[in-house]
Chain A
Amino acid sequence: DAGVTQSPTHLIKTRGQQVTLRCSPKSGHDTVSWYQQALGQGPQFIFQYYEEEERQRGNFPDRFSGHQFPNYSSELNVNALLLGDSALYLCASRRQGNYGYTFGSGTRLTVV
């Protein structure tokens, strides 16, 4: 049973560029959340998608946007990249109504 799959695993981008990160949730899960984890910090909640709509958003600017597809997979888009966007981006999925979250291994984004 595949868990949460994220791609790519590593990415290097230049300031000002745009990036798209992808997440396939665990089988049976319908809710996807994204987290940003800066070096030496705990993960910070970005937003959560359920039924293809953003249901909850953390304290992140509009440069961060997302999408959820009918098959429950999700994308995280970041525009106008800043050096401070360099972080590990984690995707977590769960089944709505259950508390059990499953995390992926993350995408490590480096902005130069």
Chain B
Amino acid sequence: AQKITQTQPGMFVQEKEAVTLDCTYDTSDQSYGLFWYKQPSSGEMIFLIYQGSYDEQNATEGRYSLNFQKARKSANLVISASQLGDSAMYFCAMRELPSGYSTLTFGKGTMLLVSP
């Protein structure tokens, strides 16, 4: 079973609008972390935002916010005021600690295209 599910293969948004990228996860652990990364065509994974499972408030980093709904096991990324440079692949990932060593499990990603 997939641990990270991103159901939107592609999303289109106009510049300056807000967009939400969906992510649901599956884990039986109490302690875990959720990440969002941006991957432009260059290939590098760029860290955007992190939410720990015990964090009571939703994480925010500039134009990025994470809508964390623990009971629903969802961790959606909200990008406010989209810019042309936001066009890229976006990956949701979960940090788990099997045997005490943290690893990341990624979803399949969502391609975001921002139009003028």
Contact = CB atoms under 8 A, between A and B. Distances in A.
Contacts, number: 61
Contact of A45 (B35, B104, B108, B109): B104
**How many A residues touch the partner, as a band?**
20 to 34
Q: Is the interface of B mostly helix, strand, loop or mixed?
A: strand
B27 interface: no
A75 B36 CA distance: 26
Interface string B85-116: 00000010101001101111111110000000
A56 B95 CA distance: 13
A92 B103 CA distance: 10
A102 B47 contact: yes
Nearest to A3: B44
Interface residues of B, number: 26
A29 interface: no
A106 to B, nearest CB: 4
A21 to B, nearest CB: 13
Contacts of B46: 103
Interface of B: 4, 33, 35, 37, 42-47, 50, 52, 91, 93, 95, 98-99, 101-109
Task: Kindly list the 5 A-B residue pairs having the minimum CB-CB distance in the complex, ordered from nearest.
Answer: A42-B106, A103-B45, A105-B44, A106-B43, A55-B101
